[in-house]
Chains A and B, each alone.
Chain A
Amino acid sequence: MRTLTYVAALNEALHQAMAEDDSVMVLGENIRNGVRAETRGLDERFAPGRVLDMPISEAAFTGFANGAAMAGLRPVVEFQVASLIFPAFDQIVNQAAKLRLMLGGQGRLPVTFFLMGAGAGGGRAGQHSDNPYPFLMHAGVKTVIPATPEDAKGLLLAAIFEDDPVALVAPANLLGEESEVPEEAYRTPLAHGVRRREGRDVTICAVGHLVPAALAAAERLASAGMEAEVWDPRSLLPFDKAGLAASVAKTGRLVVADDSGRTCGFAAEVSSLMAERCFEFLKAPIKRVTRADVTISYSTPIEAAALPGDEEIEGAVRAVMGHTEPAPGSTPVHG
């Protein structure tokens, strides 16, 4: 099979969606003229009204996409950097996410919020390093985060053709990754996680660019005799609860690796879900590996010190593997 980079897979998905359905359109900042690889060639191939360069007006062009969706289009709104959803938050949270229920099921909002270049690393500093998916999930926006080029294409196509708003988060650190991608158009279903590595001792639920990090950690752990299962949810909301629960029931241990804020973050949600569902299978407390609850710094050592990676995942796995249950009747020690 031929290979594509992550960003080329996104580009292919946009081309195929627009070719398949005239109502699909793409809008955002600097997207024409092939400046950005994910939208390359769209303006040459499709009618001008379907590929729109927008002024630096995130709130208005997001509302524009909402209105276009109500009027029957399937807009893909690109945010040049993930943190740029914040200026548009009213239109995402108060409008797109709420309208369907609030209007009693009237209307349809098939809009895709396309968050390019999410996450930290490389000195992007405080305002260009966010992984803002917990905000979106909290607002009830369906949210997916592909970890491979194949899923980038399949999930973008699924997002575009879902009849609800869906946010697709494309991690900056994965855009150059290259692997096999089928040529035909296909949709990767929401609410379906995937096992990236099989293991019997511990489950690592890892998100986005932490999926390859978890796989790297798992390789090292294997040479130390610990077999980690790596589970990639892909779709954060809706979330494949049953899929992860099956893995945790099998391994009895869970580490959640998520590069968003620790407090009320995705890992916090998954941990509490699994504590509720899988308590009787757990041999050790669930551990989270997340960002520190701080603004991301510019300078490399303090940037890196706030961010989770393969070593922190490995450390967390060793900790849950080393955990021994207290003997019956013993008193827990606090300190």
Chain B
Amino acid sequence: MSETGDPLEWYRRMQRLRRFEARAAALVESGEIVGAVHEYTGEEAVAVGVCAALREDDIITSTHRGHGHILAKGGEPRRMFAELLGRESGYNRGRGGSMHIADFSRGIYGANGIVGAGAPMACGAAHAFRTRAEDRVAVPFFGDGAMNQGVLLESFNLAVLLSLPVVFVCENNGIAITSSTEEMTPGGVAPRAAGFGLPSRSVDGMDVRAVHEAATTAVRRARAGGGPSFIECRTVRYSVHNIAAGALPRESRSEAFMEAARRRDPIERLAGELDRERGWRQGERTEIDENVEGELDAAVEFARAGRRPDAKTALDFMYAATYPDFPARGWEP
């Protein structure tokens, strides 16, 4: 999705993320999605604010909670839903599901089921860009939980040492499944990154403007050869950690906390600001929302119409270069 400083477009993109997740949750509920889904709801300003500062040829790595990043970077809802439904028409031909969606043509180097694992890959990609004298930037997204993964901390060091065009984006939603960030990450998130020599900022992740402004500065610096930096976006996930068919959602946070969080809602906040600054035309907001709904309804229909992979293809795609009798089957045919 292209770079944009237009708040109305941010609004549209945030709505797309939120309503995508509402549909994904419904598809989990109906049993059409077989695996787990980690909803991005509540955190939309982070993905949209950051990706609106990126060019189409910049790359991101994403997380288990990846739908938002992928949509914000231009991922097509219909191919995402098709992936969630395990269809051949999905981004990964149904081989990956929610946690592994990738679209290399749009610089989406994949969601990732392993906390922190995308960060070193983003560093490597950034290095590749630099060796070819391309002014592309790599942005690894990760949660606060990743701040305690060795590979992420090692990646901070690598990025500084090699002065890579990387912008690390930490989505600090205050919690990792049920563990509080405050408790698990002594010293705080942004100061920890600063300790590696990374220019480090902490912004209100419920404010798309603040996120976009911080990301624009960091991306500009990286693109101009000024090296890596770090942005902590303080946000809230509205949903439970994840949902899956038949699983009981458990919420460890208090009702009062959740209520207070929803009062900081990033979409309502931007809508309010737009109202004060320029005023909504009669029906303008509804029109945008309905357009998004229509696009997503069509996307779900596209996904449902897709076919499931043929059982005969279960061994496909493991390797680019194959050999006779390789990869091995589990039993003699």
Cβ–Cβ < 8 Å partners of B91 in chain A: 103-104, 106
Evaluate contact between A63 and B124: CB separation under 8 angstroms: yes
A282-309 interface (Cβ within 8 A of B): none
Evaluate contact between A164 and B120: CB separation under 8 angstroms: no
Give the interface size bracket for A toward B: 35 or more
Q: Is A112 an interface residue (CB 8 A)?
A: no
Task: Tell which of A60, A65, A103, A105 touches B100, judged by Cβ atoms closer than 8 Å.
Answer: A103
Evaluate contact between B109 and A70: CB separation under 8 angstroms: yes
Task: Tell which of B61, B94, B95, B326 touches A238, judged by Cβ atoms closer than 8 Å.
Answer: B326
Evaluate contact between B155 and A105: CB separation under 8 angstroms: no
Provide the bound-state CA to CA distance between A49 and B59, in Å. 20
Q: Is B299 an interface residue (CB 8 A)?
A: no
Provide the bound-state CA to CA distance between A72 and B129, in Å. 9
Residue among A54, A103, A105 with the most chain B CB within 10 A? A103
Of the listed stretches A7-15, A88-96, A216-224, A326-334, chain B binds A88-96
Evaluate contact between B131 and A63: CB separation under 8 angstroms: no
User: What's the tally of chain B residues with a CB closer than 8 Å to chain A?
Assistant: 54
Cβ–Cβ < 8 Å partners of A234 in chain B: none
Provide the bound-state CA to CA distance between A109 and B112, in Å. 16
Q: Is B34 an interface residue (CB 8 A)?
A: no
Evaluate contact between B319 and A100: CB separation under 8 angstroms: yes
Q: Is B261 an interface residue (CB 8 A)?
A: no
Evaluate contact between A104 and B319: CB separation under 8 angstroms: no
Instruction: State the Cβ distance, A240 to closest chain B Cβ, in Å.
Output: 9
Contact (A72, B117) CB under 8 Å given A59-B150, A101-B318, A106-B92: no
Cβ–Cβ < 8 Å partners of B109 in chain A: 67, 70, 107
Instruction: State the Cβ distance, A159 to closest chain B Cβ, in Å.
Output: 11
Please, what's the 1-or-0 string for B118-135, where 1 marks a CB less than 8 Å from any CB in chain A? 011111111111111000
Q: Is B161 an interface residue (CB 8 A)?
A: yes
Provide the bound-state CA to CA distance between A55 and B95, in Å. 35
Please, what's the 1-or-0 string for A82-119, where 1 marks a CB less than 8 Å from any CB in chain B? 00000000110011000111111111110000000000
Task: Tell which of B92, B122, B154, B323 touches A191, judged by Cβ atoms closer than 8 Å.
Answer: B323
Instruction: State the Cβ distance, B302 to closest chain A Cβ, in Å.
Output: 17
Q: Is A73 an interface residue (CB 8 A)?
A: yes
9 further contact pairs, Cβ within 8 A, besides A59-B150, A62-B120? A60-B120, A64-B158, A66-B124, A70-B125, A71-B124, A72-B132, A73-B127, A102-B92, A191-B323
* A residues with CB within 8 A of B: 25, 47, 49-50, 52, 54-55, 57, 59-73, 75, 90-91, 94-95, 99-109, 140, 142, 162-164, 190-191, 237-239, 241-242, 276
